[in-house]
Amino acid sequence: MSSVHDFSATTIEGEPQSLSTYRGKVLLIVNVASKCGFTPQYTGLEALYREYADKGLVVLGFPCDQFGHQEPGDEAEIRDFCSLNYDVTFPLFAKIDVNGTNAHPLYQYLKKHAKGLLGSEAVKWNFTKFLVDREGRVVRRYAPTDRPESIAGDIVALL
């Protein structure tokens, strides 16, 4: 695989989705969870999406339950939670693993191309963010503690 666009994932509605759909867009790919201390970042992610979508930004949310069982719900519960509590309109996908032997192939690729602290590939917690350019190349990884609004400058530079 040579870019993020070579992967597919299942939408939160259960439909297969090729990420080639987002060719030509800047992507912010985030593993999300509903019961995490970082869950309020949905507000900032949605604000980025609304502010820059018309310039080519797409935020992609991938629910994950690998960290402290903080995403226990099924896809319908996750979708409803995000809609009712944070008015999320950016694309959400079905729950995945981001680490381990069952890690989604997209996340295997992201981690290989943007290592974390001290060269680690493992995603450390929910709301780790990966910034991807219009050609599908991974540009940077951000820690869960990096608030969405703090990375807006990096996003704008790619738009």
Q: Which residues are catalytic?
A: 36
- Tokens 């970042």 locate to 41
Burial of 84 from C-beta contacts in 10 A (0-12 / 13-18 / 19+): exposed
Q: First-to-last CA distance in the chain? A: 24
Name 40's Cβ contacts closer than 8 Å, sequence gap at least 6: none
Q: Which sign, positive or negative, has the C-alpha torsion 83, 67, 47, 155?
A: negative
* CB contact at 8 A, 47 and 149: yes
